[in-house]
Amino acid sequence: MPEPDSPSQTAAAERVSACIITFNEEDRLGPCLESLSWCDEILVVDSHSSDGTRDLAKSVGARVIERDWPGHVDQKEFAVRAAQHDWVLCLDADEKLSAELKREIIALRDAGFPKAAGWSMPRLSTYLGQPMRHGGWYPDRKIRLFDRRRGHWGGANPHDHVQLDGAAETCAGNLLHDPYRNFAEHLRILDSYSSIGAQGLAQKGVQARVSDIIFRPVTRFLKFYILKSGWREGWRGLLLAYLSAYGCRLKYAKLLIAQRIEDPGSKE
């Protein structure tokens, strides 16, 4: 007898491909895969992991493609186009569906995904052991379920997002997100993302000024700590607002240094 969430329960049901991109995610990929076990296909696009990521994915029946890393947007778009089915559900390895969100998506699938080109879902992130509902971290809605015939991945690395040709509906259940294994990893990612961000600004022709390093971080801190109520998260909220400001300062500092080295005669 089929499982309650089996697609064979109704002729109206669409087939769904889950798409995940990975690199050395063996230690946290399991919960993500488990939350997607009901999907008709799980596709993992891996960037030459040196741990057991690919073996773990294969052990639960996922289809694995190994591919060089071209950037967040291109890798996610490749995964969507390589999937077997037109309806795709895209998660990162540090994300998983809550039980409520899983039930919602299964109900939508069984109804044939009516009305919309895609669905957004609130993302609830955990930081150093605590779910964060303030400071700009929630609801942090993301479109992750969509018809690839009417949508694609866009944005600027590393801040990718789905762009739809059509309307998006909303899910109520949370997408659960645990972005950092520890504080040291958070600092490493800040450094990496600030470099990618600086490169992106340079490609757009943005000219960095000393004032960007002074004033932009202050504005960013006040935005997340005061305007978005980061203070309600206690010391974690203070730390996150500070690190957001630090990442902003680092990005513009890297841009400024690159431009001054390339053009030593440039002035403020």
Q: How many CB atoms lie within 10 A of CB 150?
A: 15
33: in domain: yes
240 pLDDT exceeds 70? yes
Q: Which has the closest alpha carbon to 148: 15, 13, 9?
A: 15
Q: What is the CATH number of the domain that holds 158?
A: 3.90.550.10
Question: Do 137 and 234 belong together in one domain?
Answer: no
Q: What percent of the chain has pLDDT over 70?
A: 93
Query: For the residues 209-218, what does the mean pLDDT come to?
Result: 96
> What confidence score (pLDDT) does residue 7 get?
43
In a 3-state reduction of DSSP, which class is residue 131?
strand
- Indicate the residue type of 15: R
Among 132, 157, 177, where does a domain finish? 177
Residue 45 main-chain phi, psi, to 5 deg: -105, 115
Per-range mean pLDDT, top range of 1-15, 155-169, 174-188 = 174-188
What is the enclosing helix (H) or strand (E) of 15? none
The phi-psi region of residue 23 (left if phi > 0; otherwise alpha if psi is between -120 and 50; otherwise beta) is beta
213 pLDDT exceeds 60? yes
267: in domain: no
Q: 53 near 23, Cβ under 8 Å?
A: yes
Please tell me the total count of domains within the chain. Answer: 2
Summarize pLDDT for 92-144 with one digit per residue, the tens: 999 999 999 999 999 999 999 998 999 999 999 999 999 999 999 999 999 99
Residues 6+ apart with CB under 8 A from 23: 46, 47, 48, 49, 53, 69
Question: Do 60 and 90 belong together in one domain?
Answer: yes
> What confidence score (pLDDT) does residue 82 get?
98
6 pLDDT exceeds 70? no
> What confidence score (pLDDT) does residue 13 get?
80
Q: Is the pTM of this model over 0.75?
A: yes
265 pLDDT exceeds 60? no
- Indicate the residue type of 185: E
Question: Do 191 and 166 belong together in one domain?
Answer: no
Among 177, 197, 221, where does a domain finish? 177
* Token representation of residue 259: 């431009």
- How many helices and strands in the chain, by DSSP H and E? 7, 13
241: in domain: yes
Where in the sequence is the domain holding 158, given as residue range(s)? Answer: 7-177
